[in-house]
């Protein structure tokens, strides 16, 4: 049945109490901006709600911990709610785990335009405009779980477009069974869409501002336009002031650029343009699958300093949070075949890399790249009886999931020394 067109904004997971991570060694101007970035991104949601001519704002949980966020977070929320009240814009808020309604201070009443849904039941509210119902908003705050209790959203069937508001994720079959036209979900800090969960979409928009490398990529909110035929168009809007990026580099890229420093400089220029001129926080992971590019890598510690100096103080800044260089596991056969100390060393390393035993622990096997085999270091101690008992004990105590990496590091160090290089770097900077 045809109805009326309407528009709303859906946002979630402000987490105003949680600062950004990777602050080590950050220059003062960036540190100051990062401190306010979560609040700035959340404020952008309210600014858009005032500017976009929306009918209502949907907030699906974890906006802030009422105590941990402090007065700045509380003030931001209340100010945004009050401005929307003055603009006659409703707010529908399903609390998550952090913003439990029971923890909201009684001395700080919410404006009348804000509906904070209860935890114990779903409540259906007909959203009206000029005395006519344009849609039904059905919400329920979280009971303290990470998954959505879909069965708790059972309500009477309505002909209006229905928006379900909750905190938590469920699979598509469960969501579709509740027969919502749009699911406004919260919980995941990265934008998440559950295909088939609802005709108009089942979306968790993620946090307006990412907090660490696990929350890399764009962050923001969504605008949902629904026409008179109940067809919805969903548009993502980015609000993050800082953007975390995890960038992988391989040997072929280094070779084509001439050096790792050249390559990273080129990539920083490209990434700055691609991401809209915002500050970038980049974690580089370099995999040296070809040992012949080692001379092109240089000293990662020095490279890290140069990257931060050259690109971390600009506006916008591209700050390198981490530079990880993974040593090669294989070296040229010609090196291994040499009748030299280097050849002997590489052959020994290869021998120990192949010394594997079947892991007895399921958990242990799951953490190793071989899916059940683990590197056994004890043959080394048996062949070298002159090793001290302390050294033997240390080798035997190395956790199984770390042995491959330690052997790779040791092999690289030996190769650099034996080839006359400067053994000045490790896997991480």
Contact by Cβ (8 Å): 97, 63: no
Adjacent-strand bridge partners of 345: none
Model's pTM, two decimal places?
0.84
The stretch 170-187 carries a mean pLDDT of 94
Distance CA 187, CA 213 (A): 17
Domains of the chain: 6-240 (3.60.21.10), 244-418 (no CATH)
| Helix ranges restricted to H, 192-259 | 251-257
Q: Which of 107-121, 207-221, 235-249, 328-342 has the lowest mean pLDDT?
A: 328-342
Instruction: Considering only residues 397 and 285, tell me which one the structure prediction assigns the higher pLDDT.
Output: 285
Instruction: Considering only residues 371 and 315, tell me which one the structure prediction assigns the higher pLDDT.
Output: 315
Q: Answer whether residue 316 shows pLDDT above 50.
A: yes
pLDDT at position 416: 78
The stretch 270-284 carries a mean pLDDT of 94
Q: Answer whether residue 372 shows pLDDT above 60.
A: no
Q: CB neighbours (10 Å) of residue 15?
A: 24
Adjacent-strand bridge partners of 235: 223
Following DSSP, what letter does each residue of 356-394 receive, concatenated? EEE-S-HHHHHTSTTSSEEE--HHHHHH-TTS-HHHHHH
Q: Which of 4-18, 128-142, 250-264, 406-420 has the lowest mean pLDDT?
A: 406-420
The stretch 106-127 carries a mean pLDDT of 92
Q: Percent helix, strand, coil in the chain (nearest 5)? A: 35, 25, 40
Burial 338-347 (b: 16+ CB within 10 A, else e): beeebeebbe
167: CB partners within 8 A, 6+ apart: 12, 60, 61, 62, 94, 95, 96, 97, 141, 142, 148, 185, 186, 187
SS3 70: helix
The stretch 219-225 carries a mean pLDDT of 98
């Amino acid at each position: 049945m045809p109805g009326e067109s309407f528009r709303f904004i859906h946002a979630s997971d402000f987490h105003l109490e949680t600062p950004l991570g990777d602050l080590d060694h950050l220059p003062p101007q960036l540190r100051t901006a990062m401190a306010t970035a979560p609040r700035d991104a959340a404020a952008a949601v309210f600014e858009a709600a005032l500017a976009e001519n929306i009918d209502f704002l949907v907030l699906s949980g974890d906006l802030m911990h009422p105590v941990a966020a402090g007065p700045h977070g509380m003030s931001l929320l209340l100010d945004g709610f009050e401005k929307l009240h003055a603009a006659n814009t409703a707010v529908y808020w399903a609390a998550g785990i952090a913003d439990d309604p029971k923890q909201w201070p009684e001395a700080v009443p919410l404006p009348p335009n804000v509906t904070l849904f209860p935890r114990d039941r779903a409540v259906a509210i007909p959203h009206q405009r000029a005395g006519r119902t344009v849609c039904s908003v059905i919400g329920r705050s979280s009971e303290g779980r990470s998954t959505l209790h879909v069965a708790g959203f059972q309500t009477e069937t309505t002909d209006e477009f229905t928006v379900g508001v909750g905190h938590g994720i469920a699979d598509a079959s469960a969501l579709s069974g509740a027969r919502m036209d749009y699911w406004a979900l919260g919980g995941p800090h990265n934008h998440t869409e559950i295909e088939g969960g609802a005709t108009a979409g089942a979306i968790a928009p993620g946090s307006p501002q990412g907090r660490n490398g696990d929350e890399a990529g764009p962050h923001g909110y969504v605008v949902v336009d629904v026409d008179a035929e109940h067809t919805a168009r969903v548009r993502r809007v980015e609000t993050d002031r800082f953007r975390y990026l995890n960038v992988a580099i391989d040997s072929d890229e280094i070779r084509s650029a001439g050096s790792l420093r050249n390559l990273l400089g080129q990539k920083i220029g490209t990434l700055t343009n691609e991401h809209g001129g915002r500050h970038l926080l980049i974690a580089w992971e370099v995999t040296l699958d070809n040992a012949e590019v080692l001379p092109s890598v240089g000293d990662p510690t020095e490279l890290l300093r140069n990257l931060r100096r050259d690109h971390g103080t600009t506006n916008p800044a591209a700050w390198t949070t981490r530079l990880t260089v993974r040593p090669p596991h294989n070296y040229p056969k010609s090196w291994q075949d040499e009748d030299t100390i280097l050849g002997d060393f590489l052959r020994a390393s290869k021998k120990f890399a192949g010394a594997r035993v079947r892991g007895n622990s399921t958990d242990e096997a799951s953490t190793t790249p071989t899916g059940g085999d683990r590197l056994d270091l004890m043959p080394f101690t048996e062949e070298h009886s002159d090793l001290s008992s302390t050294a033997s004990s240390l080798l035997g105590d190395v956790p199984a999931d770390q042995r491959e990496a330690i052997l790779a590091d040791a092999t690289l160090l030996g190769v650099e020394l034996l080839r006359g290089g400067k053994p000045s770097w490790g896997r991480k900077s």
